[in-house]
Amino acid sequence: MTELAPNRPARARKRIRWLPYALVLPIVLYEGLLLLYPIAQGIYGSFTRIELASKTPPVWVGWDNYTRMFQDPGFWKVMQTTLIFTALVILVALGAGLFTALLFNRPFRARPVARAMLMMPWALPEVPVVMIFIWILSPQFGVINILARMLPGVTENPQWLQVPGLAMGWMVLIASWKAFPFYSLVILAALQSVPQELYEAAKVDGASPFRLFWHITLPGIGTTLELLVVLASIFSFKQFTIIYLMTGGGPSGATETIVIRIYNTAFRFYDYSYATALGVAGFLVSLVIAIFFVVLQARRAQENA
């Protein structure tokens, strides 16, 4: 018994050394089975011809699907529409989130109630939101038509979802309205971490509100804004429910993003091989955005070190 006693601490340290791997293992298995394996299958499927109607296995076709994709004018139009939609949602949603965060960062009566009401758009499911906006924008009895007909020169109810420019504008507004409370909450948390002593010292030196915002607030929440830009880019890039239920990508493809094109290609035209190639293209764009943020953060860390 006396000889075994000194080995107990070593055994305990060995068990502790394996404990982090044991705790991480369920997450690794989950990510591997439900994330990495489907991605690998999608990439492999993009190099094959898949015919679900027949019993034949997928046939390897190499780069044929990607050659078709790069030669397809519709693909570049869809990517342009996707990037425009993503950029506009980032500007509108983050702009609204920053404005409301600055507003709610100031003390006023019923601020907790106002913050709770602010989160309602983000908490609502997307399908009921779409149903509400379809009713609001209805050309027959939509509520928004009452306001539109108050404008000079408007004598008929506008076809909000039938005009390409109007349809895209409403997709941007609805997606931004749904997303901006989350961005506002994150920015508000970042604002409350900025030291108040900096504002007090700047006010003593006679700094204007704009200079306070530009030289103290923005640098203080800069890292948070960069993260939100990346998140907003990814969320907007893969937005499906709102666009599909509101317009289905119409009119005339004006609101058809890459995600809508993938769905239509796979489940309307049953061209699964080409749909997987489109999916890989969308995945690579999202991956580039994420890598760009990681590189930017690494450079920031080196500069601050």
pLDDT at position 300: 75
- Both 202 and 125 in one domain: the answer is yes
- Both 193 and 149 in one domain: the answer is yes
The answer as to whether 66 is a domain residue is: no
Cis peptide, bond prior to residue 73, ω within 30 of zero: no
pLDDT digits (tens, 9 = 90+) for 248-268: 998 888 999 999 999 999 988
pLDDT digits (tens, 9 = 90+) for 18-72: 878 888 888 889 888 888 888 898 899 899 988 877 777 888 998 999 999 999 9
Predicted model pTM = 0.86
Q: How many domains does the chain have?
A: 2
The DSSP-derived string for 222-235 is HHHHHHHHHHHHHH
- Both 137 and 215 in one domain: the answer is yes
Contact 127, 241 (CB under 8 A): yes
How many whole angstroms separate alpha carbon 24 and alpha carbon 2?
A: 36
pLDDT at position 1: 44
pLDDT at position 10: 58
Print the domain residue range for 8.
Answer: 1-39
How many whole angstroms separate alpha carbon 5 and alpha carbon 3?
A: 6
- Both 113 and 182 in one domain: the answer is yes
Amino acid letter at 54?
S
HSE at residue 19, side-chain half, CA atoms within 13 A, is: 7
- Both 15 and 78 in one domain: the answer is no
Regarding beta strands 48-49 and 59-60, do their DSSP bridges make them parallel or antiparallel, or are they unpaired? antiparallel
- Both 78 and 12 in one domain: the answer is no
The answer as to whether 92 is a domain residue is: yes
How many whole angstroms separate alpha carbon 12 and alpha carbon 66?
A: 54
Region 191-204: what's the mean pLDDT?
Answer: 87
pLDDT digits (tens, 9 = 90+) for 288-305: 888 888 888 788 777 776
- Both 28 and 80 in one domain: the answer is no
- Both 4 and 118 in one domain: the answer is no
pLDDT at position 305: 65
The answer as to whether 50 is a domain residue is: no
- Both 239 and 288 in one domain: the answer is yes
The answer as to whether 4 is a domain residue is: yes
Asked whether residue 8 carries a pLDDT value surpassing 80, the answer given is no
pLDDT digits (tens, 9 = 90+) for 155-186: 788 888 988 899 999 999 999 999 999 999 99
How many whole angstroms separate alpha carbon 234 and alpha carbon 91?
A: 14
How many whole angstroms separate alpha carbon 264 and alpha carbon 202?
A: 56
- Both 30 and 105 in one domain: the answer is no
The answer as to whether 110 is a domain residue is: yes
DSSP letter (8 states) at residue 60? E
